[in-house]
Structure 1
Amino acid sequence: MTVDARPGPLGRSVVVGVGQPAPPAWADAPRVVVDEAALADPAAAVAALHAAWAERDPVVVELAVDPARFRAPASIDGAPWELGVDLDLPLDRLHFLVWANTWDARGDEPVWWWAVKAARLGEGAAPTPEGPGDLALADGTALWVDGGPREPLARADLEGLGLVHRESVEAGRLAVAPEPVPVTADLADDQREAVAHQRGPARIVAPAGSGKTRVLTERLRHLLVDRRWEPGSVLAVAYNVKARDEMVERTEGIGARVQTLNGLAYSILGQARGSAPPVADEREVRRLLDDLLPRRQRRANTDPVAPYLEALTEVRLGLRDPARVESDRGDVPGFAEVVGPYRDLLERRGVVDFDEQVTAAIEALLRDGELRRRVQARHRHLLVDELQDLTPAHVLLVRLVAGPPLDVFGVGDDDQVIYGHAGADPRFLIDFATWFPGGATHALEVNHRSAAPVVTTAATLLGYNRRRVAKVIRARPDAAQDADAVRIVAHEASAGSEALVEVVRGWLDEGVDPDDVAVLTRVHALLLAPHVALVEAEVPVRSTVGPELLDRTGARAALAYLRIADDPGAIDPADLAEVYRRPSRGLPRWITKWFRRRMSVADVADVGERLDDPKVADKVAQLAADLETVAAAGGGTTRSALEVVRDDIGLGEAMAGLDRSKGGEGSSQLDDIEALIQVADLHPVLEGFDAWLRRALGGGRTAGPAVTLSTVHRVKGREWPRVVVAGTTAGLLPHRLAADEEEERRVLHVAVTRARDRVVVLGDASRPSPFLGELTGEAPVRPERVRRTGAATPDGPARRERREGGRAAPGEPLDGVAATRAEALRTWRRERSRADGVPAYVVFSDATLDALARRAPASTADLARVPGIGPAKLERYGADILALVAEGDGTPGAPADDA
């Protein structure tokens, strides 16, 4: 018998022993040696074998070690954030690649093991090492058994024989692959090319309106129906439940498997633990976490648990070191010591929280190699939606599940990464092949949704970003060319609501259905003025804004101040209780016994004069003085009174501090005050403002056609014929709390591209957003800087001037004075870290030191505004820093504390 050992039409490789010559058919093939050195450092061998397997390029694999050494899947210990998103399992991949598509020529006769395994399935099949093909069925039909990457192959290219793929054999089926068929769905050319992708991983770059969901679901249909791949080996992964349900609906009846990312993780966890654990809700999570937090004095106007919840997400989904997170945030003292006990507590109680589903699933896959291999056998091909929104933990989960071949069909748009606060990063699309070797790219270029000017405007805006995949974005050939499709309106500060109503009312008067109109803002609070303005104009709205917004800390205090301004002679005790703590004046709790009746401003001043404690008396006197200022403001407009409360009384700065304590991307208390100021223009007379506002918030909703009011983050994936983007104003968009200016630009791009026919962008002319000029391309390209702080703020020019101080932005080179100051700060940090027995970055990160050097804070209040300095670090290091800066600047004595 002569064995037909050759690469053949499937590009097979061959395994030989040490020093063994390769069979003649591989005489000229490159040789990859797997020896002790390769086991110690497998990267080079794995890269060479993966490239050869993926491209069907024959190689000779010389096995100089016992393959049993790397047969069993590795067990990996360590927390996911210690291992990182770049974690590779090279020995797992080495085992797969050595045997995936290779003849075993180490014995007397070469063996094609996939034919042997196929014959074990029965059905009268038998290996045919002498040819033709690899396997003969009972009826004599000759077949190849392919171990290469799965792809459609025509019999004409297979020496006239049929083909069974290794994955079918693994699934226990002798399923003969059908002849390749073209994609027949009604698709554009670029979409069809992506759906028909032949083999291996692929990055589908899908700009807004290019039909990414259609491409993904048609790809799923093509694999299961046209190519007849096993449903048990193909999984579509959706980012959330809504996207999952849409995919399920679009692929009904074809046996497709669709799961969310968390659903995938949860199912793996169920397999690892024998049953799926209960998922704790936020209330239980807060209670469990609060019991573990370091006991310290609770500061007014803060949520002590929220920063720890955000920090946990940074660690578990962002895969960041807990000590680094604690150092960089500055508002979570003791956090690094809390992470382990909290996760242990979840495990002891047999529950998981939302993020822990992903973290625990990753750990289970790493620690249990056999579980990992079983999971991978059911996920040979992953189709991943919204790849740009995946966090590092999600990417690691996908890589572990899809390994070793890493066959991932990832659909997404790096220009729509707007969840950076949750760990999403455009690099996973930009550098796709780093995580999915050999990944091809299919670019969708046509926006099928929007009018041509909308597409052009959005693309122009994106041109100011640097971290992105270079791409062509064009409108469909028959897209509308209406010059009025995009309007950019810079209105007066007090005319934003009027401008909005004029646009929406004008559209409705033209006959546009209210359901075809959306008003979008960067943050939820800024929907308040659009909601009230449209209700007052008798426009029906579909809105999530309600009276509960007025019960939030900042809004509640601001309204209490307004009621005092309206009637300073009869202050309600409840209002007084609100305002004496906001901003915090350091008054003791027992002071409330003096504020239990209706009082005038003079009565409050009298309380201060009657107190025995001089420090408390001074604070009450300051409160009375602030109330006098508020009372004087009552003679003006509602807007002017709110501006006095925000700027002169300091409520704005107090709420900015609360915002900093809660992280950068949640609901902002300062935005709530901004929203009240915007709505104040609709009711300029102070008297009755509160009651009017609550009535207006209670109306306007209807079960019938209505204008949609929403934040941009809630509508990604949706579209309307007409869209208004309100609040494109410095400090709001880009938002003052946002760290990544490029992401803020992407937020505006997402908002603009929700429009099919027309979009109007509204912004305050007195605080112009830099993005307004970028929409038209008139703005100059600024120096490269992605990370940013110190954006223009909505709390008045005087405070902006103090806050900015004309200093350079972070990321720019330090000037001579700042550089000297930075060196002194680094020397201090080195000494302090040694004294405290902690790494230097735990004291302050380099970025924080550079910010300190640039800003040269002169007071505790200035210091608190520096990114990376929270209450704990302020208390621990504040005096040292202020003294060091004052000494370096030649300022005599200690700086005054104006906190």
Structure 2
Amino acid sequence: MTTDNFTGALLQDGAASLEDRILGGLDAEQREVASTLNGPLCVLAGAGTGKTRAITHRIAYGVHSGVYTPQRLLAVTFTARAAAEMRSRLRDLGAGNVQARTFHAAALRQLQFFWPQAVGGTLPNLLEHKAQTLAEAARRLRLSTDRASIRDLASEIEWAKVSMLTPANYLENAQDRGAPGGFDLTAVARVFQSYEDVKTDRNVIDFEDVLLITVGILQEDEKVAATVREQYRHFVVDEYQDVSPLQQRLLELWLGGRDELCVVGDASQTIYSFTGASPRHLLDFKARYPQANVVKLIRDYRSTPQVVKLANDLLAGRRSGGPAADAAWAAPLQLVAQRPAGPVPTFTECTDDEAEAATVAQKIKALLDAGTPASEVAILFRTNGQSEAYEQALAAAGIGYQLRGGERFFARKEVRDAILQLRAATRAVSEEGASEPLGQLVRDIVSSLGYTDSAPHSGGALRERWESLAALVALADELVKVRGPEFGLADFVNELQERSLAQHAPTVQGVTLASLHAAKGLEWDAVFLVGLSEGLMPISFADSPESVDEERRLLYVGITRARENLSLSWSTARTPGGRANRKPSRFLDGLRPNSVATSNTRGKGPAPRRKAAAPAVCRVCGSMLSSGAERKVGRCNACPPSYEEQTFEALRSWRREVALGADVPAFVVFTDATLTAIAEARPASIEDLAGLAGVGPSKLEKYGEDVLRVLAESAEL
């Protein structure tokens, strides 16, 4: 049924039918959300509980009952894809005029409109990527950087800006931020200021500036603020646990003291604290609005009881991390499964990473052979560097895959060519009229690009191209079912254009490979959570109770992506034949068979008062170690080194290449003492490497995997 038909039917059938059509399919709690049309309203929604359904039906019910004017309601979410999905659902409910945008998109639209009158002149160009500008800022200060340090500095500056810090007050508010990009905080503050100067010189602004400048205009210009508040009377904010201080300030200025606000979120899915997100705004909502209604959605329609139980048990297994961490930890929602029973989640220990990848590929092949579509299977890992082993294992098994976070769907050549041909065909169809249904029409048009009704038997580029075109065909079939037979080729091309702008890609047939962070908001029939060993989950640089708690929430997000089949695995060694010194993640204690629950710190409990450290002695002769270099390697200079010469030389050669590539002295990568300690200890895992003096979190992130690779290769010589 089209939007116009839907709206017409509502008007004809009256108010009783309005409730039946929009509220009839909702459960009691969802119905309470959808029928509570005036704020303030706080919806605490667990994973898989239908929060998007509840809030889109609330908006549609408000529009069709006359409480909301569509153009005066703004729905805000955190990704362009989520906003596009919300707009699509609202169109299907006959409320297509409601705006659903990200914070940045909404602010940019306002900034483009109000800049001439509030500031004057032309709005500066938007800087889409910070890397080159940051590199220029560092060069002005004569600081040497590489790609990894630029990435870290960009993340730190983004955190500072969304936390509403300036170069002037950054230093006093960032004392617990470590050494971003390997630089001390004073240097970071200088780079921050230099970056702002470069932007001014080039007359550009970045994405954080869009929010900051909009906030500044709304605070300073009462006329502009009044215009915005007149335009928007009602607000809905999804994923409210991910709001930053800057976004919260913008929301407050939009509201202007009013309380027509509905927020939706789940503190147990807070996994972006490192970007400045804070669940405090969600958790303190009732304190800010004492009259607010609070509704909890706990009925899980996504996952089987077995998956839901594991997710609940994971959060319940959390132990005290001290007063500060306990105060930041929100009591989790206890999900109640609504689906029939399914298979029990499996726990698998493998000998090494290669064996783990091969085991996962075998399990996936069995699922595909049993009829599970490849698009309904995902492999999720903690770091992007883990994907390569699984890409190789899937390719060896003849299984197609897509890497989430790789090339964007709408940037692929075959997709761009298909859209061009579809657009060209709309002219002929409008002149002659469509002689066949949309799905068949799209099939006919893209067949010239290589689409066939059956998939090619070969893999590689040919298979990837076919899968892209098949996704477009499947999307056409799906939209006709939802929008009705009147949905034609021109409508489909417009839909593709909107989805392209929002990067709202259709489903591609292929196993999904993604990091746990990238998997947020998605779901699959079968999920494989891999690499669940200490040092990777929680990650080795999670060095505080609060950061360990965030890692637990990240694993919770991973578990709750699965509808039916869930597999959790880890390996005891990194490479075949390597030392089997890895341990399964502490988060699995009490969950996997024959294990018992432990505290966040593996049974250490609250940290006792530290005793004075014992004098460092040589591990060979037992004499006192006098210098920092001696203490770093654990051996006095009089005792001979215990490393193999080929290992040390391989590490030195690698260090030389890295230093040359980054244009920095070799000691900036690793000092000789640290390199010696690595060669002698021969760490077999990230967690082993992290235990060596001189290998901090930043260097571990930059060089850890490369160092382990060099050690493994030298052992094979």
**Preserved CA contact (<8 Å) 2:304 2:340:** yes
Partner of 1:222: 61
Change (3 A) 1:706 1:298: same
- Aligned counterparts of 1:223 and 1:861: Cα–Cα separation in 2: 69
Which amino acid in the other structure matches residue 349 of structure 2?
A
- More moved, 753-762 vs 307-316: 307-316
1:281 is the counterpart of 2:127: yes
Measured against aligned partners, the alpha-carbon deviations of 1:508-529 in whole angstroms (never above 9, x if no partner) come to: 2323222221111122121111
- Aligned counterparts of 1:333 and 1:860: Cα–Cα separation in 2: 30
- Aligned counterparts of 1:403 and 1:499: Cα–Cα separation in 2: 56
- Aligned counterparts of 1:857 and 1:361: Cα–Cα separation in 2: 55
**Preserved CA contact (<8 Å) 1:387 1:412:** yes
RMSD: 3.8
SS at match of 2:539: coil
Which amino acid in the other structure matches residue 217 of structure 1?
T
Measured against aligned partners, the alpha-carbon deviations of 1:542-573 in whole angstroms (never above 9, x if no partner) come to: 235989xxxxxxxxxxxxxxxxxxxxxxxxxx
TM-score by length of 2: 0.61
- Aligned counterparts of 1:462 and 1:857: Cα–Cα separation in 2: 45
Partner of 2:466: 703
Partner of 2:554: 747
Measured against aligned partners, the alpha-carbon deviations of 1:625-655 in whole angstroms (never above 9, x if no partner) come to: xxxxxxxxxxxxxxxxxxxxxxxxxxxxxxx
SS at match of 2:257: coil
Which amino acid in the other structure matches residue 213 of structure 1?
T
1:815 is the counterpart of 2:610: yes
**Preserved CA contact (<8 Å) 1:535 1:700:** no
**Where does 1:590-629 land on structure 2 (aligned, <5 Å)?**
none
Which amino acid in the other structure matches residue 239 of structure 2?
E
Which amino acid in the other structure matches residue 396 of structure 1?
R
Structure 2 counterpart of 1:186, from 7, 18, 25:
25
Q: How many residues align?
A: 487
- Aligned counterparts of 2:259 and 2:234: Cα–Cα separation in 1: 8
Change (3 A) 1:267 1:778: farther
Partner of 1:725: 529
Q: By how many angstroms is 1:424 displaced?
A: 1.6
**Preserved CA contact (<8 Å) 2:243 2:279:** no
**Where does 1:530-609 land on structure 2 (aligned, <5 Å)?**
530-543=390-403
Change (3 A) 1:504 1:860: farther
1:475 is the counterpart of 2:337: yes
Measured against aligned partners, the alpha-carbon deviations of 1:844-866 in whole angstroms (never above 9, x if no partner) come to: xxxxxxxxxxxx99559969xxx
Change (3 A) 1:500 1:199: same
**Preserved CA contact (<8 Å) 2:79 2:102:** yes
Partner of 1:395: 248
Which amino acid in the other structure matches residue 759 of structure 1?
L
Measured against aligned partners, the alpha-carbon deviations of 1:6-32 in whole angstroms (never above 9, x if no partner) come to: xxxxxxxxxxxxxxxxxxxxxxxxxxx
Structure showing the higher helix proportion among its residues: 2
Structure 1 counterpart of 2:371, from 507, 511, 527:
511
**Preserved CA contact (<8 Å) 1:206 1:412:** yes
Measured against aligned partners, the alpha-carbon deviations of 1:466-494 in whole angstroms (never above 9, x if no partner) come to: 51244231101xx2213x33111122225
Partner of 2:172: 324
Partner of 1:256: 98
Measured against aligned partners, the alpha-carbon deviations of 1:130-179 in whole angstroms (never above 9, x if no partner) come to: xxxxxxxxxxxxxxxxxxxxxxxxxxxxxxxxxxxxxxxxxxxxxxxx99
**Preserved CA contact (<8 Å) 1:724 1:761:** yes
For the pair shown, which has the larger CA radius of gyration, 1 or 2? 1
Q: By how many angstroms is 1:443 displaced?
A: 0.3
SS at match of 2:76: strand
Partner of 1:199: 38
- Aligned counterparts of 1:898 and 1:415: Cα–Cα separation in 2: 35
Partner of 1:298: 144
Change (3 A) 1:185 1:305: same
Change (3 A) 1:733 1:775: same
Structure 2 counterpart of 1:493, from 316, 328, 352:
352
SS at match of 1:485: coil
Structure 2 counterpart of 1:767, from 575, 583, 588:
583
**Preserved CA contact (<8 Å) 2:76 2:83:** yes
**Preserved CA contact (<8 Å) 1:520 1:709:** yes
Change (3 A) 1:814 1:859: farther
Unaligned runs of 5+ residues in structure 1 are 1-177, 548-695, 786-790, 792-805, 822-855, 864-870, 879-896
**Where does 1:592-741 land on structure 2 (aligned, <5 Å)?**
701=464, 703-704=466-467, 705-738=509-542, 740-741=547-548
Change (3 A) 1:778 1:400: farther
Which amino acid in the other structure matches residue 721 of structure 1?
D
Change (3 A) 1:283 1:242: closer
SS at match of 1:199: coil
SS at match of 1:760: strand
Q: By how many angstroms is 1:208 displaced?
A: 0.9
- Aligned counterparts of 2:48 and 2:375: Cα–Cα separation in 1: 19
Partner of 1:212: 51
Partner of 1:564: none
Which amino acid in the other structure matches residue 264 of structure 1?
A
**Preserved CA contact (<8 Å) 2:47 2:300:** yes
Structure 2 counterpart of 1:381, from 234, 246, 265:
234
Structure 1 counterpart of 2:264, from 407, 411, 426:
411
Measured against aligned partners, the alpha-carbon deviations of 1:195-243 in whole angstroms (never above 9, x if no partner) come to: 1225321211111111111112111112211243223432111212111
1:314 is the counterpart of 2:135: no
Unaligned runs of 5+ residues in structure 2 are 1-14, 319-325, 408-458, 468-508, 573-581, 616-625, 634-663, 672-692, 696-717
Q: By how many angstroms is 1:340 displaced?
A: 4.8
Measured against aligned partners, the alpha-carbon deviations of 1:425-456 in whole angstroms (never above 9, x if no partner) come to: 22222222345553321100111011110011
SS at match of 2:347: strand
SS at match of 2:542: coil
SS at match of 1:334: helix
SS at match of 1:539: coil
**Preserved CA contact (<8 Å) 2:41 2:293:** yes
Change (3 A) 1:336 1:439: farther
Q: By how many angstroms is 1:285 displaced?
A: 5.9
**Preserved CA contact (<8 Å) 1:201 1:436:** yes
Change (3 A) 1:780 1:408: farther
Q: By how many angstroms is 1:417 displaced?
A: 1.3
**Preserved CA contact (<8 Å) 1:193 1:442:** yes
Which amino acid in the other structure matches residue 171 of structure 2?
A
Which amino acid in the other structure matches residue 488 of structure 1?
F
- Aligned counterparts of 1:363 and 1:427: Cα–Cα separation in 2: 23
Percent identity between matched residues is 25
1:461 is the counterpart of 2:314: yes
**Preserved CA contact (<8 Å) 1:382 1:407:** yes
Partner of 1:583: none
- Aligned counterparts of 2:173 and 2:632: Cα–Cα separation in 1: 23
- Aligned counterparts of 2:288 and 2:131: Cα–Cα separation in 1: 33
Higher RCO, 1 vs 2 (CA within 8 Å, ≥6 residues apart) = 2
**Preserved CA contact (<8 Å) 2:305 2:341:** yes
- Aligned counterparts of 2:549 and 2:608: Cα–Cα separation in 1: 20
Which amino acid in the other structure matches residue 250 of structure 1?
R
**Preserved CA contact (<8 Å) 1:266 1:276:** no
Which amino acid in the other structure matches residue 499 of structure 1?
T
SS at match of 2:612: helix
SS at match of 2:215: helix
